[in-house]
Structure 1
Amino acid sequence: MSDSSSIRLRRLAAAVAVSAAVLGLAAAPAAAQPGAKPTVVLVHGAFADSSGWRDVAAQLTAQGYPVRTFDNPLRGPAGDSAALERALAGIAGPIVLVGHSYGGAVITNTHDPDVVANVYIAAFAPARGEFVQGLLNPITYPGSRLLPPALQLGVVADATGPGGSNLDGYIGEPYFHEIFAQDVDAATAADMFAHQKSAALTANLEPSGAPSWSTVPSWYLVSQQDRVIPPALQRFMASRAAPGTTTEVDAAHASLVSRPAEVTGVVVAAARATQR
C-alpha cells in the first residue's frame, strides 16, 4: 500500500470515529450504560468480619455483579455509616447495600443517592430513635441467647473511645458455634470464631437516625432458627422496612455462611427489581 493510500485510510477512520461520537454511537463506559448491573456492597455485622461473605461474593461475581466488602468498624451506627458513605463515594453507578445482623443498622443509617436497594440478612432495621439493645427486649421478643456468659466483655484499644480504649463485647469460644452458627460444621464454626471482631457495647445503645429504608426499596431474609435476633423480631422489622419483599430461610443467624445460595438469590432479586 502506498503512503498516500495509508494516509487516506487513517483519515477515513478518524472521520468515522468522529461521526460516531457525534451521533452518540461511540461506546460509553460500562458504569454509565443504562441497565448496567449494580455494584453489590456487603456489610458484615458484629462477631464477624468480611470473610463470612466469601461464598455469597463468589456466587454474585459468577453472575456478573461487581462486589465490594466493607470492613465494618463496629463502633456505632453513626460513625460506621459515615465510614461506609465515604467508601461508597468511590463507586460509580448504582449500588445495592447488603447488611447482616448489626450491619443492617449501619445500612439503615447510610444515605447515598446511588444506593438503589437495601438487603437485610437476619439484620437489624431500626426506626428513628430505636437502638439494638432496645430492640432485643426479651419480654417483647424472647429467644435471643446473646447473653452472659456467652456474651463476654473486654477492653480494647479504640481511638474513638474515651482515653483511647473501649469496652467491647464478643461471643466466648465455648458458645460461638451453638449460638451464632449452629447449622454449620465444627470446622467452619472454628474458622468463623477465628475471624470474629468484637463490637463496642455503646454501638448497641446508640439511637438510630432517619432510616434509609423509608425511601430506598428494601428486601429482608428472615433466619427461622436464629438464636441471636429472634425470628419474631426480624419479622416485625421486616414488616416496616420490606413489606412485600420479605422471605424466610431455615437457617441460623449466619445464613450467609450456611445458605449462601438463598442469600445470593435475595440480593439478585433486589438488584434486578431496581436495575436502572
Structure 2
Amino acid sequence: MTTLSTLLASGAVLVGLAMAAPPAFAEPVRNVVLVHGAFADGSGWRDVHDALVAKGYRVSIVQNPETSLADDVEATRRVLDQQDGPTVLVGHSWGGQVITEAGMDSKVTSLVYLAAIVPDVGESTETLETMPAFPQPNGDVKTTADGRFYYMDPAKFRENFAADSSPELARFMARSQVVLSVEAFGTPAKAAAWKTKPSWAVLPGADKTVSMDLQRWMYQRAKAKVTEVPGSSHTVYLSHPDVVVRVIEEAAGA
C-alpha cells in the first residue's frame, strides 16, 4: 500500500493542498447537499448526515435516478431549490460528474468531491475513464441484458467498491445498488462549476473503482484542496465519515 508520506515525497499527490483558499464567508455555510454515485443510493450517507446534523448543519440528500446525466442534474437542482441560502454541494464518484454541472446554481458556494469524477466542459465519465494515461481498475462492472445500464457484480462488490465496510453492509449495498445508464456514462458535461467555485476533494488511498492517478490529475486541474485517506476503499464516506465531515466543514467555512 502506498503511504501518504511516500506520495508526498514523490510529489504525486495532494497537489491541491495549497491551491484552494477557503472562501471568505461572512459566516459559515449551514446547508449541505449530498449526491451519491453509481452503484449506491442515498442511504449510504447516514453517518455523514447524522454527524453534520449534530453540528448544526441542514443536510439534504439527493436520490439520483441515474437514468441520464440530465435527470441526475435536475434531481440535484430540485434539492438545491429547497435550500434557504448558501450551500456546500458534495458528490461521490459519479456524483462528481453531476455536481460539476449542477454546481453552477447560485446557491452553491463550494464543491466537495469524494473519490469523484471531475469533468471539464465536453468531458464525460467515459471520456475520463478511458484515457490511456490512467488505466482503470477492473471493477467487475457488467451490462444489463438490454445493454442499457451498468451494474457492479454483486459477488465482487465488497472487494472492488467497499472493501473496508462490513460484509453485511457490502452485501446489502450490492443488492440495493442503483444501476447507471450507459447513456449517462457517455454524456459530456455542459458546465464546470469548479472553474469559478472553490473545491475540495477526498482521495481514497486504496480505491479499486476509479483510478487514483486519474483522481489526482482531475483534482489538480480543478485546483482542489485534497485530503488523502490511506487504505480507504472507494466508499470513503462509509468507512471514514469523520474525515469527510471535516472536509465538508472546511468547505463550509467553519
Same fold (TM over 0.5): yes
Q: 1:195 aligns with which of 151, 172, 176?
A: 176
Structure whose alpha-carbon radius of gyration is higher: 1
Q: 1:141 aligns with which of 134, 137, 156?
A: 134
How far apart, in 1, do the equivalents of 2:28 and 2:187 lie? 37
Aligned partner of 2:167 in structure 1 is 186
Structure 2 CA distance for partners of 1:189 and 1:216, relative to 1, 3 Å: same
How far apart, in 1, do the equivalents of 2:233 and 2:65 lie? 24
How far apart, in 2, do the equivalents of 1:194 and 1:268 lie? 32
Aligned to 2:109, what secondary structure does the other structure show?
Answer: strand
Aligned partner of 2:233 in structure 1 is 252
Matches within 5 A, 1:1-276: 35=27, 37-110=29-102, 111-137=104-130, 139-146=132-139, 150-154=140-144, 167-243=148-224, 245-250=225-230, 251-272=232-253
How far apart, in 1, do the equivalents of 2:189 and 2:154 lie? 30
Structure 2 CA distance for partners of 1:219 and 1:36, relative to 1, 3 Å: closer
Deviation at 1:155, TM superposition (A): 5.3
Deviation at 1:138, TM superposition (A): 6.0
Aligned amino acid, residue 37 of structure 2: G
How far apart, in 2, do the equivalents of 1:143 and 1:200 lie? 19
Structure 2 CA distance for partners of 1:93 and 1:43, relative to 1, 3 Å: same
- Which runs of 5 or more residues in structure 1 are unaligned? 1-33, 157-165
Asked if structure 2 preserves the Cα contact closer than 8 Å seen for 1:37 and 1:64, the reply is no
Asked if structure 2 preserves the Cα contact closer than 8 Å seen for 1:138 and 1:144, the reply is no
Asked if structure 2 preserves the Cα contact closer than 8 Å seen for 1:222 and 1:234, the reply is yes
Deviation at 1:139, TM superposition (A): 2.8
How far apart, in 2, do the equivalents of 1:155 and 1:214 lie? 39
Aligned to 2:51, what secondary structure does the other structure show?
Answer: helix
TM-score scaled to structure 1, two decimals?
0.78
Aligned partner of 2:10 in structure 1 is none
Asked if structure 2 preserves the Cα contact closer than 8 Å seen for 1:56 and 1:256, the reply is yes
- Which runs of 5 or more residues in structure 2 are unaligned? 1-25
Asked if structure 2 preserves the Cα contact closer than 8 Å seen for 1:152 and 1:169, the reply is yes
Aligned to 1:208, what secondary structure does the other structure show?
Answer: coil
Asked if structure 2 preserves the Cα contact closer than 8 Å seen for 1:136 and 1:144, the reply is no
How far apart, in 2, do the equivalents of 1:58 and 1:89 lie? 22
Structure 2 CA distance for partners of 1:208 and 1:47, relative to 1, 3 Å: same
Alpha-carbon deviations, 1:201-260, whole Å to 9, x = none? Answer: 1111111112011011110111111111111100001002234x1111121100010111
Deviation at 1:82, TM superposition (A): 2.3
Say how many residue pairs are matched.
227
Provide the identity percentage. 38
- Determine which structure has greater relative contact order: mean sequence separation of CA pairs < 8 Å that are 6+ residues apart, divided by chain length: 2
Deviation at 1:187, TM superposition (A): 1.1
Asked if structure 1 preserves the Cα contact closer than 8 Å seen for 2:27 and 2:253, the reply is no
TM-score scaled to structure 2, two decimals?
0.85
Aligned amino acid, residue 240 of structure 1: R
How far apart, in 2, do the equivalents of 1:203 and 1:66 lie? 29
Deviation at 1:173, TM superposition (A): 1.1
